[in-house]
Chain A
Amino acid sequence: MKFEDLPVDATRAGAVLLVLAVAFLFSPLFVRPPAATLVLFEVGVLFLLYALVLVGLNLQFGHTGLVNFGPVAFFAVGGYVAAIVTANDPYGAVGLGLPWPVGLAAGVVVAVVLGALIGASTLRLRDDFLAIVTLAVAEIVHGLIVTVRDVTGGSNGLQNVPRPIAATTGGGGAGELFATVLVFGALAVLFYGLFHRLSASPYGRVLRAIRADEQVTETLGKRVFRYKFVVFVYGAAVAGLAGALLVFYNGAAAPGFFTINVTVIVWIGMLIGGAGNDRGVLGGLAIIMGFQLATRFLNEQLPVITPDQFASVRLMLIGLLLMVIIKYRPEGIWGDADELGVES
């Protein structure tokens, strides 16, 4: 039985989970996971945020064929705007000290505006322009974050960003991690469900047609540009949301959270899992992040190799894995070769 056939609708499940998660936050209930599992929860939080970025990217690339090489730009903009709007006295940066919901909304809105600007200027051009422009924008955003120190705090980042979940659970430790996983997990399920519904509908059929042949789709009566634009903005919005959630989780924003590694990880996860398969891409992300976690443990057992050397070996292994996938299974583990038009 396939996941899609289960009598559970991810959109509803996500909405219910979100309500439960928020109810849990404000209840006197308290969960303390064993200390040994904390690292799993930490990686889990990051996985759920990257999953949000990835469901947007998969809608853009997997379903519509839009090559966005800069999802981290929207992730970073969402995060930094949220941080700047909400931080109290962030040490040599701008902090407006507004309530966190305002920061969350502002982060999403600015990510959407950036997405709309890039989309409006680039999506009418040939496909490869989008790839180049998004890659460049991601570098520009990162450059601005590091250099406009008076606003962003430069390489130190912004401190004293509110931590709404920590504040509700009474601060710190395992309970907070657990609650965070619950809330972010609910949001990830919700957006997975929404985007899955969108792609498994006549709307998604238009997206797949655009991926196959834009011109034919246009001559069959579809406003191709509008679909590409809207899908691009949706992806930007969830990436912005994920960025804002990250800074509210960390209580800070720093350039290190928003490096090109984010783009690399979500792209590799998508390609390994199978672009266009909403569930498969998340499986791919789990594989790549699980691999990183497993090798971290391994490094602790192998003291002869320095962490720096180990990081390089890990990158080589990931590169090798990607090459094997692309050569022998170009549709990814759960992807559909017919849908993607590749021969495996």
Chain B
Amino acid sequence: MMVTQIRIFLAAMLLVAMLPNSALAYIGPGAGFALAGSFLAVFGAIFSAILMILSWPVRRSLRFVLRRKPPEQPRFKRVVVLGLDGLDHGLTEQLLAEGKLPNLAALRDQGDFKSLASTLPPISPVAWSSFQTGVNPGKHNIFDFLTPDERTYAPKLSSVEIRSLKKSFGFGPFRLRYGKPDVRMLRKSKPFWSYLGDYGIFNCIIRVPITFPPEKFRGVQLSAMCVPDLRGTQGTFSHYTTAKPNDVERTGGEVVRVQRKGNAVTSDLLGPPHPDDPAGGSLKLPFSVTIKGTNEALLKVNGETHVLKLGKYTDWITVRFKVGFVATAQGVCRFLLLSTEPEFCLYVTPINIDPEKPAMAIGYPKVYPIYLSKRQGSYATLGLAEDTWGLSEQVLEDEHFLQQCIDIDHERETMFFDSLEKVPEGLCVCVFDGTDRMQHMFWRYHDKEHPARPEQVSPALENAIEDLYIRMDDLVGRTMERCDSEETLLMVLSDHGFNTFRRCVDLNRWLEENGYLVVDVDRRNEQYLAGIDWSKTRAFALGLTGIFINLKDKFEQGIVESGEAVEALAAEIAERLRGLIDPENGQTAIKRAYQASRAYRGPYKGNAPDVIVGYESGYRVSWETAVGKTGQQVFSDNHKAWSGDHCVDPSVVPGVLFCNRKIETDHPRLLQIGPTILKMFGVPVPEHMDGQPFEISSERTPVTPAKSKREELEPVA
């Protein structure tokens, strides 16, 4: 009886609440806010709609009158570029022939498929810089990921310089900091979308490498490669474990030993260095984990509780590090419970800059990353978002790494498809770089002769590379569905191809053996060229691409005089490297060695390594050389999970270019893409650009893309 009464009463109250005029008086403040909020939204939408409709003719007219008009008629209303970092031409061709890439086949049949010549060297920062600027590296100043500091010889990022925030006022803990970190782009020359913007063409540029810090132009952009994590590094994972120290000796991230007390483990997340006392260590954020059996635990951080499931990533979790009295540094990270017995192991991704409250500008305009975050939830913002170190150092299993890559691809796809919806006219570029990371880490499953290939390969990973290409093919299918308009030009391209990396070449050891470099034998394993006797060293190697002459005019302890001697020395080294034979198997390790002075032209070619080494298939610079060590042998096997690479001769790893129109050239090059797109929009190609636009046919053959194999992503309103 009572239940009936309450039901009747509640029904009546519902009626009361829905009466429009009286409702507010009855619903109380809580629901009042919701109503007020939604009314505000409604009011805002209606007001802005009216404003937009009324002002649209005026804005349109003003744009028509004021904007610079392209001298030629645009060929297309929209150009879409889908970048698949590292998609290899040879492998793609093979899988196409086997009928495993139906969507790419459809795109090829609609228009064209060509190999796309990469840059020298064919690595992402160099290649994508040439893609966006249309110039050779001598004009855009990016030659490698790293470059030696001219004073200390220590490696530094080649594309960006970040100086920390120092401005503050107040006293003691009551100190207020203001301003943002000083971030400078070292890439020179102007991206082609800036020229498009000058002619009023809108651009949406998502995760194209070497777009950090973001530059001002007409459109929106989310930066990629070189965006640091919250700690200011290029990605430092954390591994919390109860295992003994000798069990976890080596790591590219940070290992934190923790103690288990009953079912509880407590520790600290490590944040950015304290702004007042950087030497005093990092800011810390305490967290606790309560183990609830072998498969589950509860994580408590920032006053919030999250469930950890064994082997499953959490969603992005916001973490706030207190800086002084009121300020916080805010990031996002994901947790992965690796084991609870016999040892407790917890993996934490690098703490990414929170896109909802970015500690520094990671997009243009600043609100664009926030928009994406509000629209689709948090996402990876770190430049190299996929944690290859975690897998390399055997903290993560292959499956964990794969899941991370797939999740990031999903995030990227949501952004990309939103841009396709929001930009019906203009340029959309989106780069998926999971393809590059996965090929780096899983090539050992593709190459049955690889030294790092395990004896037993899980069936799920046996075809990891092929599955990756099939997934990307599916993405292309979904993209084609959204670009199925006569007025849209679609290009799917990669910056370089891929190759196996079986053998390492220690260039510093080779230089030492050939009398160009002298190293203290006891210090040869020290990083960053620390053990080198600079007074006797004429050449050294650092990074992935080449050899630097120890120039007197360039380096603090240089000994080689500028002028003809340098040219002669570089030519001598290049000549001796060319055709270098691996004594273990008699194969040629180095296909060609290029002198920078001849390979590049432009004002910045002096910053390049003097000799750029083009390796043969299967070879790459050694891990030791890359970080400035000098090993004890020139050749060695590569036993790391990082088993595929593309730091070889450009002719070994061409990229791909698919287009939904016929391409009227046989050998397109990556640096021609920008000028070609300018031409498609009728915008004149600046004279300084090295790439000449190639012709694209207006016609396309109607071909229906294959049905997507994967279910659509969750639609976001």
The answer to whether A binds B is no
